[in-house]
Structure 1
């Protein structure tokens, strides 16, 4: 920082001082200082401490350097004038320290939340992750490199839902307020397969613990269902979790087995599920998998519980049948072939979404192009297919310029697109997950060194190679640190001041930067 030098004192009895300049001149000089400079200047003298800690000045600095933050947006001019000295310094210094830590890659705190073990006290599975594909078109030769199990947790807008080991229940945490809520999901006789929170609607997919039958060596078959819960913010800022309805995931065709793959998505009113089942044919030459996509209307609250056959009881209580969740569209292998979405033995699906307006379904495919002559840098070919939610009307297929990380687990099915401007790691193939906070521009990228990975191809420690976490901010700063805390499932989720992942000890890990 450069100070002004005067040829003669402004006051014969005092030495020249930057803080004695007219306010408009003083504030012009402040435009050249960083928030860290402001904090350092307060340490020079009592006079500088008062001048550089003036509430209107600090409010102005927040709005100039961090206009996207909640702290800056909450400050109006009238509010800035009413700020106490303590509050002004607390807000400014908190935000400045947050971005200092982000630029350095050093969290202020690390919290670990134990999650429930997959095997319960009864010796049976209580939490059973949906198995990932073993082959995928986003990889060279379709063979998945450095895969991960699916994450049994979900995070959206500061709300984290996970299997809480302390309470042996599905819990929801408000990460910002550090408040915990128990989800009213009864665990008895159920095996949870997946948890997803989206648009303040929580969907828990689960199977009945009892086995329907065991057709062959490919595993047991169970009845699969889904339960939904509305997440409602109350007038006091706390949250209420209200059961909405329940439906059977597949009520036609073969039930889902332990080794079958299924992927789903939902918005506030609809639910879509794609089921991929390895061939159960006695003919060993027939390896064609069974595929089915169904769409459900889940918009109405209902007491109908198909898992216990309570439909007649609900009707007897005066509930209308049209309130029950209902299947509104079904695509078998012929329907999927017609719109070019049949996956067969080499899946390429890496995105399944319902538009927020409830009119269309979008399926994204990701294909490796390293052997393609027209793509020498090896970026994937990402194809998006959009078709009407109820299957009536034309479909649209387009090759996009967007980028997806290679498929490494089922958590990649809802992976965010990566803009080429944010592709700041050495090699696309080393990407595992990336999260961008749109409001603040803070980006977290989990990746690994591809060359190092292939150098250890014949060694037992290949999967033990450390991952790397790269953090980028709007200031174009970028820092990379080795990371072992997020190597459990390869999934991260983040806000402006925190990032969440899972380690190999079945613990959720939260890095907080303020």
Structure 2
């Protein structure tokens, strides 16, 4: 034997499995013989599975194989290597991606090299490339204003103050958004020079697939509009916008603009198979942006000022919005607060923004839910009439059921809440609002609130907490067939429509509220968060992230977490793509991919996990085990160069081989430390260079996944860090 490559295959594998991934890639350049041995598909796949079992490429390959095997019987007669998207029961975009992966054999050699480079750079917090995207805005010379106008909703007037030092506590919304689920970025691209005659010239927003580079116009004309907010979730793109011209005179000094919400479906479709190699490289899939529906956001409209605010959240089927408006009466009453939830699952071509007088509005068969407050003008004058109920149901079989399914397709309000109901759930904000954001899941609406000891400003609390407090209140608000009595569930009228709103009880959904509170509270061990940091049996300081996958925390903490999860058995842990109500036979449970976010019912205790640092924002790729956090502390910033605003990478999923020495116990210790579960977790965080804060945190928001990090710099450009 003259070379390692001459060894028997089993011995060769045993040796190379002990080499670090970066060394394995470098071995390819030793000689032609080594290059041939280290670039075979079977060896590369084995090394990828051993070193990076949680990387995206491995997860998708395993998921594609699992779905293909599960539906092999139904597709045995087809020439396609995998099931069609409608057969899998998975979301369309994910099913198409798995279909594209199943029909093409990956190049595991280049995949292993790319993944090894990615995790090497992640551990060093050094991006491979930095990409800048110019966004639409005003002319730098100030001579000609742009067609694009972004008038974001103003954040609360709260900031942190201590010893005459101040720091941001709220940040404005960005004009772009990234979807970790689909891997696409929606942003307002720089407007092309020239006249804007045809309609497509107003399509400023672009859909950018960061993996393939595909760029698609979003068919949303921004001319004569003020964009208030942009959101992309569950393959549904939402634009909240206002008309450029005022619609109503609110008082002697203020005017209101009509506000609308326009929804689009982001649809992935498989590209046709290339007939010949001469056709060149192609993208495995294409993207289409399809109009879904449009609805009026507020009955009277809202002023374009920094006093009237609204918060929103949406899923593929529902949209929730909360309004907070100062009371303009002479008696200085409490602010006006309203909350509504819409069912947006049914598309409709009707656009209320193009029909100011409501002449072309299709008739509806009934009022979806009881009228409340200003939503229908009962507390003030109105310029819009509400269509009366035209076809009340008298059939005894349908008594007590909603007749929304018989109404014209389109968004429908399913729940409204005003002062009394918000007060009942303890969500009344009044003059010192604490609301941070809204969240939705299959059946519930979650309201996240936050208070800080050092908060100051007009909206700061009069009774601040001891240090830092976060709270999440969940309200059962979205109808479900499970709310039907058993006699109605078994009725023949509902068997053929298991998922329509006609199967639910008429009226709003009520039930017990879920409240989760977490407060930073220091003790002798300097533990400020009872969840993220807690002392173990010996009294030493051991931190453990509550979002970590089971198996990567110590036994004592695992027992505690298991007991806590048993108490919350009705709210499953969000580690699979299956929904909270999924069953064992649900096709989505076959896919071993993690969800894109935490369960929204948990209070965001990660905000104070490293107090007195405040975690401004984070990017978490749960499936890959990669977390990027952005923290700042104005108090300690000037005391030490090592304690400063920093962006940190926590946990790449498994301990890298270069940190192993062959001892199993040592490997477990390295795994705990990398995931932040050991006392040395903070020391192992890799910090980006100081300039990255201004490159990414211009709007206090970062996003992405294990492949890249997306943010906004201080000049308003979208920054993409690729690893």
| TM interval, short-chain normalised | 0.7 to 0.9
Distance apart, 1:425 and its partner CA:
7.6
1:381 aligns with 2:470: yes
Given that 1:437 and 1:496 are in contact with CA atoms closer than 8 Å, whether structure 2 keeps it comes out as yes
Corresponding pairs, count: 462
1:495 paired residue number = 705
1:145 aligns with 2:167: yes
CA 1:148–1:230 in structure 2 vs 1: closer, same or farther (change >3 Å)?
same
Please list the CA deviations of residues 118-153 of structure 1 after superposition, one character each: whole Å capped at 9, or x if unmatched. 6995589721111100138x9989x98314321111
Please list the CA deviations of residues 432-464 of structure 1 after superposition, one character each: whole Å capped at 9, or x if unmatched. 1011111211111112243345779xxxxxxxx
Given that 2:340 and 2:415 are in contact with CA atoms closer than 8 Å, whether structure 1 keeps it comes out as yes
Partner residue of 1:442 out of 619, 623, 626: 626
1:94 aligns with 2:129: no
Aligned-partner Cα distance in 2 for 1:423–1:133: 17
1:368 aligns with 2:462: no
1:297 aligns with 2:343: yes
Superposition pairs of residues 162-311 of structure 1, within 5 angstroms: 162-167=187-192, 169-213=204-248, 215=250, 220-236=255-271, 237-251=285-299, 255-259=302-306, 260-283=308-331, 286=332, 288-309=334-355, 311=358
Aligned-partner Cα distance in 1 for 2:47–2:119: 14
Distance apart, 1:71 and its partner CA:
3.3
1:336 paired residue number = 422
1:470 aligns with 2:648: yes
1:506 paired residue number = 716
2:411 paired residue number = 325
Please list the CA deviations of residues 137-182 of structure 1 after superposition, one character each: whole Å capped at 9, or x if unmatched. x9989x9831432111111131111111235612111111111111
1:461 paired residue number = none
Given that 1:135 and 1:144 are in contact with CA atoms closer than 8 Å, whether structure 2 keeps it comes out as no
Aligned-partner Cα distance in 2 for 1:418–1:183: 35
Superposition pairs of residues 446-457 of structure 1, within 5 angstroms: 446-453=630-637
Aligned-partner Cα distance in 1 for 2:340–2:604: 31
Of 331-340 and 19-28, the range deviating more from structure 2: 19-28
2:136 paired residue number = 116
Given that 1:115 and 1:506 are in contact with CA atoms closer than 8 Å, whether structure 2 keeps it comes out as yes
Please list the CA deviations of residues 464-505 of structure 1 after superposition, one character each: whole Å capped at 9, or x if unmatched. x98422123223263102222013101001111100000111
Aligned-partner Cα distance in 2 for 1:198–1:290: 28
Could you tell me which runs of 5 or more consecutive residues in structure 1 were left unpaired when the two chains were aligned.
1-9, 404-413, 457-464
Distance apart, 1:233 and its partner CA:
1.4
CA 1:42–1:244 in structure 2 vs 1: closer, same or farther (change >3 Å)?
closer
Aligned-partner Cα distance in 1 for 2:608–2:250: 48
Could you tell me which runs of 5 or more consecutive residues in structure 2 were left unpaired when the two chains were aligned.
66-80, 82-103, 193-201, 272-284, 364-405, 456-463, 479-506, 519-530, 533-598, 656-673, 675-683
Please list the CA deviations of residues 236-274 of structure 1 after superposition, one character each: whole Å capped at 9, or x if unmatched. 22111111111111116x645432110111122221110
1:432 paired residue number = 616
TM-score by length of 2: 0.58
CA 1:429–1:314 in structure 2 vs 1: closer, same or farther (change >3 Å)?
same
Given that 1:370 and 1:376 are in contact with CA atoms closer than 8 Å, whether structure 2 keeps it comes out as no
2:686 paired residue number = 479
Please list the CA deviations of residues 15-39 of structure 1 after superposition, one character each: whole Å capped at 9, or x if unmatched. xx43333322222222221111212
Aligned-partner Cα distance in 1 for 2:517–2:609: 21
Aligned-partner Cα distance in 2 for 1:269–1:33: 48
Aligned-partner Cα distance in 2 for 1:428–1:166: 43
CA 1:124–1:419 in structure 2 vs 1: closer, same or farther (change >3 Å)?
closer
Given that 2:648 and 2:685 are in contact with CA atoms closer than 8 Å, whether structure 1 keeps it comes out as yes
Given that 1:379 and 1:428 are in contact with CA atoms closer than 8 Å, whether structure 2 keeps it comes out as no
CA 1:330–1:448 in structure 2 vs 1: closer, same or farther (change >3 Å)?
same
Distance apart, 1:207 and its partner CA:
0.4
Aligned-partner Cα distance in 2 for 1:281–1:478: 53
Aligned-partner Cα distance in 2 for 1:416–1:384: 7
Aligned-partner Cα distance in 1 for 2:123–2:438: 34
2:276 paired residue number = none
Distance apart, 1:326 and its partner CA:
2.6
Given that 2:440 and 2:600 are in contact with CA atoms closer than 8 Å, whether structure 1 keeps it comes out as no
Aligned-partner Cα distance in 1 for 2:146–2:310: 25
Given that 2:324 and 2:338 are in contact with CA atoms closer than 8 Å, whether structure 1 keeps it comes out as yes
Q: What RMSD in Å do the two structures reach over aligned CA positions?
A: 3.7
